[in-house]
A and B are shown apart, each in its own frame.
Chain A
Amino acid sequence: MNGPALVLQGLRKTYKGHLSLTSREVIRGLDLTVEPGEVFGLLGQNGAGKTTTLKLILSLIFPDAGVIRLFGEESSRVAVRSRIGFLPENPFFYDYLTGREFLDFYGQLFGFDRAARQARAAAILDRVGMASRADLPLRKYSKGMLQRIGMAQALLNDPDLVILDEPMSGLDPIGRREFRDIILELKGRGKTVFFSSHILSDAEAICDRIGILKDGRLARCGRLPELLPPDVRSWEVAFAGPAWETLAARGARAERISTRGSETLVKVAGPAELEGLLDALRSAGARLIAVTPRRDTLEDLYLREVGGR
């Protein structure tokens, strides 16, 4: 390996309309470095520029300004792409080919000989769970099957850097679990994975680092433990018995989340409020069910950063 797997410096991209009025600057000075062996998740709202960033990295579109380097080389160099695998969002492939023909075609683009192509295709089809459907034409594939064959073509060359655009979309829960395993296995083999997602639970489960893209810049970037401090930020208290209004009248301060039958769930902001609530519960003769400390999740951080709530 020579240098970081991916470096973006001062990246800018404007989509030009027919008039200057309709031009839109999508990426506004993006800086980012991904080290070899990392799993990096790029998060952001629809339209924040995630897909544009991935397309810039892959030279599908060209930046107006800035530098893109893959393993120390200019991203526009053709040779460096033999170390890259890419799965686009909602992939669509040549529907007149069968899965096996498709992988064979792409294998030729990497310059593999026939024996190598057959061996790689067989192994990768097995890995993504498509071996039994390999000889069906792609037009008969479901969305999830296309996603799997898309993953297969992205891994065909055993790439050092795998770039995935919304890899979990279109997959059922089992498929998502399998894709997660594939990503973790890649990481285990020292590969670098760079993916965009808006499924936060997946990102939280598999990423070493995340970046939140907002208005064409990185709003936050870092390791999850750093971004999500372990401090308890609030408590959730569940109890049965008196109605919440009775307790509130006794001076308990909390935010009611839900009521189901005689059970109530509330959120308490700080230790003093928690003490107050517990006192009120005791004096009202309520039955305490659970007190759960709440730490920040990626979702909380995300919503704070993109201003969703």
Chain B
Amino acid sequence: MRKTLAIAANTFREAIRDRILYLLLAFAILMMGASRILSLLTVGAEEKIVKDIGLASLSLFGVATAIFVGVGLVFKEIERRTVYTLVSKPISRSQFILGKYVGLVMVLAVNLSIMTGVFYALLLWKGWMDAGITRAVVLIFVELLLVTAIAIFFSSFSTPILSSLFTVTVYVIGHLSWGLLLLGDRIQGAAGKALCRVLYHVLPNLDALNVKGLVVHGDPVPAARMLHASLYGVSYTVVVLGLAVLVFRKRDFL
């Protein structure tokens, strides 16, 4: 555990000494500021637009960081051959990959906290703060946990470009997975129906983690929904990380 945390801390340190992260963060904050300006152009729906764009920025910039840092984490260690000395120390491959994962999650947590802080300040200033916002942010974090795991899983056997392509694909399908059920109903052949069903169950249902619509419209987010969605996201993450460890255990570092 201590060794995993040491690797995580080093991953975290690498990210915070990298300028790209600050650029992304600045961009997200800029976008939230822009939502305020955009909302001036509309009449009446000001609050909805600020909340909508704000939550979307939190989610999108979080996911972008998770994918683009996540797919490079392991690859960079191999490419720069830092992995040679790291893995020859008394650590297991699973400690290595979990350390990388935890490190990136720490980065995302800090990132999300800063963006959320700015967002809260904006909402408090306008008097639009409500409990739903925090619930939406918590589920965004759960989604980041899952997307990071998927990015690391793909990068455990593939190049960064392919991994980011795969991860973005899973992310998009994951948000539209209800469409698979719909497609299954419309399709004629039995095989096609079965395939749609299997895909629906195997691919993550990321929309289950999305309560932004409810929150923006001021509808309540029930505690049961929060619990169910969080459990779903975390269990899925554990399974994906387990697969990543399995793949990684037998990988040659050339």
Distance, CA A79 to CA B84, complexed state (A) = 17
Distance, CA A82 to CA B91, complexed state (A) = 9
Known contacts A61-B252, A96-B14, A108-B3; decide if A78 and B85 are in contact (CB<8 Å): no
Q: Which residues of chain A come closer than 8 Å to B80, judged between CB atoms?
A: 92
Contact with A along B49-91 (1 / 0, CB 8 A): 0000000000000000000000000000000111111111111
Within 8 A of A (CB), among B17-49: 17-18
Contact with B along A72-91 (1 / 0, CB 8 A): 00000011111010111001
Q: Which residues of chain A come closer than 8 Å to B250, judged between CB atoms?
A: 62
CB distance from B124 to the nearest CB of A (A): 36
Q: Which residues of chain A come closer than 8 Å to B91, judged between CB atoms?
A: 78, 109
Distance, CA A81 to CA B81, complexed state (A) = 18
Known contacts A15-B254, A86-B84; decide if A78 and B2 are in contact (CB<8 Å): no
Distance, CA A110 to CA B80, complexed state (A) = 22
Distance, CA A82 to CA B90, complexed state (A) = 5
Known contacts A61-B252, A94-B14; decide if A108 and B88 are in contact (CB<8 Å): no
Known contacts A86-B85, A92-B81, A150-B85; decide if A62 and B252 are in contact (CB<8 Å): yes
Contact present for A93 and B82 (CB under 8 Å): yes
Of the residues A81, A86, A108, contact of B6 by C-beta under 8 Å: A108
Contact present for B89 and A110 (CB under 8 Å): yes
Q: Is A97 interfacial (CB-CB < 8 Å)? A: yes
Tally of contacts, chain A with chain B, CB under 8 A:
76
Q: Is B10 interfacial (CB-CB < 8 Å)? A: yes
Q: Is B13 interfacial (CB-CB < 8 Å)? A: yes
Known contacts A61-B253, A94-B82, A109-B3; decide if A86 and B88 are in contact (CB<8 Å): yes
Q: How large is the interface on B (under 10, 10 to 19, 20 to 34, 35 or more residues)?
A: 20 to 34
Q: Is A111 interfacial (CB-CB < 8 Å)? A: yes
Q: Which residues of chain A come closer than 8 Å to B18, judged between CB atoms?
A: 96
Q: Which residues of chain A come closer than 8 Å to B10, judged between CB atoms?
A: 94, 97, 105
CB distance from A111 to the nearest CB of B (A): 7
Q: Is B92 interfacial (CB-CB < 8 Å)? A: yes
Contact present for B17 and A96 (CB under 8 Å): yes
CB distance from A175 to the nearest CB of B (A): 19
Of the residues A15, A93, A94, A108, contact of B2 by C-beta under 8 Å: A108
Distance, CA A7 to CA B243, complexed state (A) = 33
Q: Which residues of chain B come closer than 8 Å to A92, judged between CB atoms?
A: 80-82
CB distance from B103 to the nearest CB of A (A): 12
Known contacts A108-B2, A108-B6, A111-B3; decide if A60 and B14 are in contact (CB<8 Å): no
Q: Is A58 interfacial (CB-CB < 8 Å)? A: yes
Q: Is A196 interfacial (CB-CB < 8 Å)? A: no
Contact present for A59 and B87 (CB under 8 Å): yes
Of the residues A55, A97, A109, contact of B13 by C-beta under 8 Å: A97
CB distance from A33 to the nearest CB of B (A): 21
Q: Which residues of chain B come closer than 8 Å to A79, judged between CB atoms?
A: 90
Q: Which residues of chain A come closer than 8 Å to B85, judged between CB atoms?
A: 86-88, 91, 93, 106, 150, 153-154
Contact present for B252 and A109 (CB under 8 Å): no
Q: Which residues of chain B come closer than 8 Å to A88, judged between CB atoms?
A: 81, 84-85
Q: Which residues of chain A come closer than 8 Å to B14, judged between CB atoms?
A: 94, 96
CB distance from B98 to the nearest CB of A (A): 14
Contact present for B254 and A81 (CB under 8 Å): no
CB distance from B101 to the nearest CB of A (A): 17
Distance, CA A58 to CA B253, complexed state (A) = 11
Residue of A nearest to B86 (CB): A109
Distance, CA A66 to CA B111, complexed state (A) = 48
CB distance from A204 to the nearest CB of B (A): 27
Q: Which residues of chain A come closer than 8 Å to B84, judged between CB atoms?
A: 55, 58, 60, 86, 88, 91
Q: Which residues of chain A come closer than 8 Å to B81, judged between CB atoms?
A: 88, 91-92
Residue of B nearest to A88 (CB): B84
Q: Which residues of chain B come closer than 8 Å to A78, judged between CB atoms?
A: 90-92
Contact with B along A35-51 (1 / 0, CB 8 A): 00000000000000000
Distance, CA A96 to CA B15, complexed state (A) = 10
CB distance from A131 to the nearest CB of B (A): 21
Partner-A contacts on B (CB < 8 A) = 2-3, 6-7, 9-10, 13-14, 17-18, 80-92, 250, 252-254
Query: 18 additional contacts, CB 8 Å, given A96-B17, A111-B2?
Result: A58-B84, A58-B87, A59-B87, A59-B88, A61-B253, A78-B91, A87-B85, A91-B84, A92-B81, A92-B82, A93-B82, A94-B82, A105-B9, A106-B85, A106-B89, A109-B6, A109-B90, A150-B85
Some 10 contacts from A to B, beta carbons below 8 A apart, are A61-B254, A78-B91, A86-B88, A91-B81, A106-B89, A108-B2, A109-B89, A109-B90, A111-B3, A150-B85
